[in-house]
Structure 1
Amino acid sequence: MTDNPVSEEVTESVVRSGVVAVLRAPTADYFAAVGDVLVEAGITALEVTLTCEGAIDAIAGLRRQLPPHVALGAGSVLTPDDAKASVDAGAAFLVSPVLVPGLDGFGVPFYPGAFSPTEIYNASRAGAPLVKLFPASAVRPRYLKDLHAPLPDLRIMPTGGIEISDIATWLSAGAAAVGLGSPLVGDAVRGGSLAALARRARHAADAVAYARS
């Protein structure tokens, strides 16, 4: 997997954000407004999942719209065609729920999904700068502490079923960052309250700061 300086910078941006906001909805119609609110609140890593209608166009629009320091990626990437289209649209990283061979050759970091210690280790050994622990809801944060005891260099991003109230616990347990979908974005990705989204996003950013203080 890529080890170029630009890709390393992207991963550091994801880790610095602490939270990756996962944008998933039937369509991407409201992602532009959601992106502005998240970034204003301090969430500077966003993932647009390709399961959304209009996802590629949304990635391109968000890349033009958001500040350069925001790490914008594509999620649910499962094929080389998905990867190429995402990168061409401006995605700076790719995320998959599983380890898909061949998605590490597009010049941007690829964060594959894994669950068992063997899967996580093999993904990291293959060069993944971050490994997505998925689904994180199936384990507790202690799982990371147990993994890091014999494997301290693993960089893991738990995703799936994490609540805002869980962020600090996961980060304190050793997560490099966490991925949050509906507990963070709520119904804002379907036209719901942006004010409520802003409150949740601020709480999430505060949880990151608290865990790292």
Structure 2
Amino acid sequence: MTEILDFPKVTVILRGYNYESVRAVVKSMVGTRLRSVEITMNSEGAIDMIRKIVDEFGGQILVGAGTVLTLEQVKQCIDAKVKFILSPTMLSKEILDYCKAHHVVTVPGAFSPTEIKQSFEDGADIVKIFPAARLGSKYIQDIFAPLGVMPIMVVGGINCENVSEFLQAGASYAGIGSGIFNKQDIIECNEEELKKQIEYFESKMNWGE
């Protein structure tokens, strides 16, 4: 089981890429501080892709599924041995309980204070504020003032230049896709450039240590 305290600070989001492109990114992540990847369920062949990536890189990279919306999808993802699931929306208590029973970390999406509070009450491990960049980093502090500090992930418009601002505001985690990598380099499986982009991101990131 992946304990929340051990959950990587940054999760790389890969949406709409084929297996070769996803593999190139994950291979480039090995040995870096980017230790978590989310493969979205609205990518073609997502489950087969997840299964292959887990088989090859699961010992080095935390592999999860994103854009998970239904219990049926959850069951497919768990069968593919994901360590976590994310959703752009709130998840039902049934889904949260099912994941907990199978030791899978849950990261449902939320926008309002009510949704955030309800998700934690229903058993979410981490709540994803989405779309975070539209709300701004001060939104994190505004939420924490009445509700207290919670394990929050920011997703949506997060990149090399603003991620540290959100983490300094109190977010525990960030999910980033196009904010790290050049899309064409992913499509072309250009591992040399992908590694350079990871190095640049790591140099800009405030790791809080």
Which residue in the other structure is 1:54 paired with? 45
Matches within 5 A, 1:116-135: 116-135=112-131
| Aligned counterpart in structure 1 of residue 136 of structure 2, from 133, 140, 150 | 140
Structure 1 unaligned regions, length at least 5: 1-5
Which residue in the other structure is 2:193 paired with? 196
Question: SS at the partner of 2:179?
Answer: helix
Count of equivalent residues: 203
Q: CA deviation at 1:56?
A: 0.9
Residue 13 of structure 1 aligns to which amino acid in structure 2?
A: D
Q: Is the 8 A contact 1:23 1:49 kept in 2?
A: yes
Using structure 1 for the length normalisation, give the TM-score.
Answer: 0.88
Question: SS at the partner of 1:199?
Answer: helix
Which residue in the other structure is 1:112 paired with? 108
Q: Is the 8 A contact 1:131 1:155 kept in 2?
A: yes
- 1:39-91 Cα offsets, whole Å, 9 max, x none, are 33320011000111121111111111115252210000111111111111121
Residue 74 of structure 1 aligns to which amino acid in structure 2?
A: A
Which residue in the other structure is 2:95 paired with? 103
How far apart in 2 are the matches of 1:79 and 1:164? Answer: 32
Q: CA deviation at 1:158?
A: 0.5
| Aligned counterpart in structure 2 of residue 90 of structure 1, from 75, 81, 85 | 81
Structure 2 unaligned regions, length at least 5: none
Question: SS at the partner of 1:164?
Answer: coil
Q: Is the 8 A contact 1:28 1:189 kept in 2?
A: no
Question: SS at the partner of 1:29?
Answer: helix
How far apart in 2 are the matches of 1:48 and 1:82? Answer: 13
Which residue in the other structure is 1:3 paired with? none
Corresponding position: 1:205 with 2:202: yes
Residue 137 of structure 1 aligns to which amino acid in structure 2?
A: A
- Structure 1 runs of 4+ aligned residues shifted over 6 Å read none
Over the aligned positions, Cα root-mean-square deviation in angstroms equals 1.7
Identify which range, 25-34 or 176-185, moves more after superposition: 25-34
How far apart in 1 are the matches of 2:142 and 2:72? Answer: 37
Q: Is the 8 A contact 1:22 1:46 kept in 2?
A: yes
Q: CA deviation at 1:192?
A: 4.8
Identify which range, 58-67 or 91-100, moves more after superposition: 58-67
Question: SS at the partner of 2:19?
Answer: coil
| Aligned counterpart in structure 2 of residue 12 of structure 1, from 2, 5, 23 | 5
Change beyond 3 A, Cα 1:170–1:132 = same
Tell me: higher relative CO, structure 1 or 2? Use CA pairs within 8 A at least 6 residues apart. Answer: 1
Question: SS at the partner of 1:78?
Answer: coil
